[in-house]
Structure 1
Amino acid sequence: MSEDAKEESAAHGAGSDVLQRGRNPFKVPANCNIFLLRNKEKEQRKKKQEQLRNLKVHEKHAYIGKMNCKRAELRRKLRLAEYEDESGSSAEKKAQELRESHIGKIAMLKDHNIEKETISEFIAKKREMFLLEYSLAVKRGEISHLEEVAAAEEKKLLNAEKFLEEDVMMFDSFLKENDRNAVEAVKNAEQETREKLEKMSEIKKIMSKIAAIKSDISKFEETLAEYTMYRDFLTKLSPLEWQEKERVWRKRRAKPQLPDKDQGKRGEQPGKTLPVPPPETLAGAERKASGAGRELRALRALRDTRTPSTLRLKATSQRSQDSRAESRTEDASSSDNDEEEPQLYFTHPQQLLDLLSDLEEQNLCLIQNSRETEEALEEYTHTMNSTRKKMEQETEQLMQQIDTMTRTIEKEQKRAAEVELKVRLLSCGKDIAEDQDAMLDLLGRKVEEVYRTCTGNSEVSLSPVQMLTAVEQRLGELLDSVELIPRDRVLLAEQAKEKERRLRLKEEKLLQQKQHQEERLRKSLERAQAAIKKTTGKKLMYRSKPPATKTKESLNTESTDQEKEEQLYFFTMSR
């Protein structure tokens, strides 16, 4: 019976792992065959029974004997435990182990009568024991798990404290290092600021010195340019023969060159300067330069009024300037080689003053000539302009006369055509020869009247063609004489004639209007005196036009807008 219980407890112990995973031990698992387990248990029991049968006699025991043997072993262990001196914790551990072992459990049942139980009771007790052991195992596992978690948390807390201490130490060292760096940076900044201020003051001093040097250089350059201008002016005033000799002399001096050794010696002495001329020489040069400056200003004042002779002089002076420019380049090249004072043609200021006075007289003559030429040019220009204006006015008047005569001719031609048409209509082919003779006589009388007016001759014995020829000649003579008559008188005569012509045209127009009015009256009298024609039948009636329909704009614009919106909405939706 005890072996079966052990087997069942082993089976339940094997199933405790399943229960520890959160499953119900009293529920049949889906992946396990209960009949297979039962067969295995039967086979194990058979094996044990075979082993018990094969045991020797002294090894075979009854159930009570087996229980007594276990009790004796328990007593022996308890007896040995009494003589052992251990700590409280070890004794508690051993007592716990003893309680958990089968021997301890049997000792607890020492004074109880052991009776045989049925299988169902045994299984129920085993089930209760398994549940208790399972709950205890679960609690112990949870306790051990919590102890492990607590230990891990304590370890983490210790590590965190350790790290915190290390961080505090590192932060303190960082703060110290930062303070030290800040102090060093402040010191460096102060030092750099002091150095910067010193450098700035030095730079300002140097810049002031440079500005002073530059101003001195500019002054010296201006003085040099002024002196160079004076020298060039004096060179230009010198005779061409002397200039040619000076150029040849400088070319000769510029030909020989120093050897390399001499150049090396000169290069080794960079501090050597040219000798300064004495102050007397500088004073004389300044006096000469001031006199030359005054003369130069006088020449500049006379520069704007030049004649062709001055242009020729300018060309010659330009050639001399080119030659002197070459001499200046030669002087510049030779001035590096020698240190002698430049030579001048003028040895005394009076020579220069005499030359300048001669040049001034020549310039005054040239200026006078140029002024006379300008006055003559102005008079010629004025005459030409007045002549041009007169010719333009005469041309304009002639063009106007031509236009008026052309228009008059066109009007007379139109009137002649109308008169001819009227004559043809009135004559209708009768008495044509008589009308032509009368027309010729009329024209002859008019031509004779014009001839008498133009020539002043009262006795006429010429034909109309000859009279017209004479009138034409007289007209040409008058046109030629018109050019000699003052323009004002011509304009007055033209205006008077134009006025007479306008009055004559106005009278003719009034006469034509009167004739036209008389003609209308005559026709109206003829119509009034004519016999009345009676009309027979109905008058023609034209078709009447239908009345035009006027569209009235509706004042209710809101309704029309709403209708338009509805139409747009529905038609667009239907599409």
Structure 2
Amino acid sequence: MEDRGTAESFGSLTSPKHPGYNPYKLPNSNASIRRHGERQRQREEAVAVERKQLPVSRKYTASSMASKNNRLRPVDIFLTQPKDAEPVALAAIETRSALALMDADVGAVKTQEPTAPSLPSIAKQSRRYLRESRHSFLENRKNVLRLRMASEMKRAEIARLDLEASSKEEALARSEERAEEKINSFDAFLKSYDTRAHEAMAKTDTVTALKSDKINKVRSLKEHVLVLERETSRLRTFKQELNRYRKFLAEITPEEWFITKTHEKRERKRKRKAKKVAEEWTRIRSSIESNLELELPSIRSAWEERNRRTASSRRGLRGKSREAAQRAAEEELDRMISKRREELSKEYPSRTELERSIESESSGEEIPGYFTEPKQLVDILTALEDKNLLAIQLEAESDQVLAGLTSELEETERTAGMRKEELREQKRNLEKTAQMEQKACRALSAALVDKSGADKVDAELQHVEKKVLELYSCIIGESHFAEISHMLEGVEARIEEIGGELDELGEQDGELINNLEGQMEKTRRDRMRVQKAEDHKQKVEQRLMAAYQRMESSSKGRGTAKPIRFRSSPQDATKNKKQAAEDARKRREQEYSELLGVDAAQIGARRRSSGRILH
């Protein structure tokens, strides 16, 4: 628990450095008395501690203490004085007690316990030692001196205490004044603090209200911004959709519309430029004419001056000469005016330069839309849909045709390969036949030379010529040569030509071959279609005819038993098959003729008539 009555606690609380220091608290009235007792107690404790630390030789016994216990010495008086006594009083005490220190034991005095002098004990000692020696008398005198010195010290102490009390009272008064001033200043501080607090509270309320207004305004502005952002995003989306729709309309708009409107816009632009050039040119001409009007008096005065100079020479003129001179003078005036007009015109740009310098300005208008009514869009979309359907149909047909052409191309390539091999085989057979005929000719010539009969030689030669003619007619055609050797050379040349054509046929451009094969295949399909239609028609007619005949036969023998029906003969089918084979052979011969440029039918007929030529 805190001791609030001690000097230490009071000193600590009155210290400005203490955390609990209060400058406006008044000190306790008993604090000075308590502080004085505390100091006395501290001095006694210090003397006791010093006495305990003395060696044994310097300590005194109980008997010595009994004899010296009631003595009053100056040293004891000195030791009993407070440490904070005034220096003047201490100096007086030291001077007056000099005699007492002459025969005193300094060491014993220092170790003697300080005690306050007792007046009854001093009177008792004086009665006891009346018959003592001079030493006792001196001792008594010393005691009297000590008493006087003690009384003086007490009076000095009282004066000092009075002075200290007055100073303390003055200090207390000053402290009270300062406390009062501080209280007043503190009250003023509190008032000013309250005033500032009220002002701060009012300002805080104002700022809070303003802040709430600002917050509400910011919130409303944010809401407005959000609304604007949503509206902006909606308008942006609408703009994108509008641009897409406009682009779509521009894509489906006829090209003629854009061409026409662009031409009209360019024409309007040209007219605006022409109008601007005309206005500028009119302004320039008016400026030239106004300047010329200003200078016209000076020109006319110069002309009149010149006319006066030449007037003396015209005075003698009469009639037409005078009129001619007058007209010449007027023409001179017109020339002067025209010359000045040209000079003024050179100061301004010409019409061509004006047209070149003035740029045509665009009106900034966009090309108007083609679609003004919903029906136009419907019509355009309907037309586009028809086009799309037609394109889809054409694409499907093209795919179909392409698939057919691909299959036909494969078939044609296979057929062309087979034809090529057949023609090569025919070429080899023809070469062998020609070699055999040449050998036969040589043998016949040798036999004819050996034989002596001219008729027989002529017959053999005629036979050879006949065979050569047949061979020539089969390969080339009608003969234009009279010599057999020329015919044989022509046959060999034709065979080589056919072989070269066969070789070139495989090396020709694939597209040309494909086109030719496509044309041939198309012709063949057309013929096959017509042939199939005719065959179907013929079969239908035959079926109808057979049904009609059965109906007639059944009607004739209706009264008798049921007629016997026999299986139809397969002759018609065989005949149809033969006819189809013959037609196919003719078509192949025609294709060979178109491909090779020769009469394949004639070659086939001759090959069938004389089988040994090719076999």
TM-score (norm 2): 0.26
* Higher relative contact order, chain-length normalized (CA < 8 Å, sep 6+): 1
Structure exhibiting the larger radius of gyration computed from Cα positions: 2
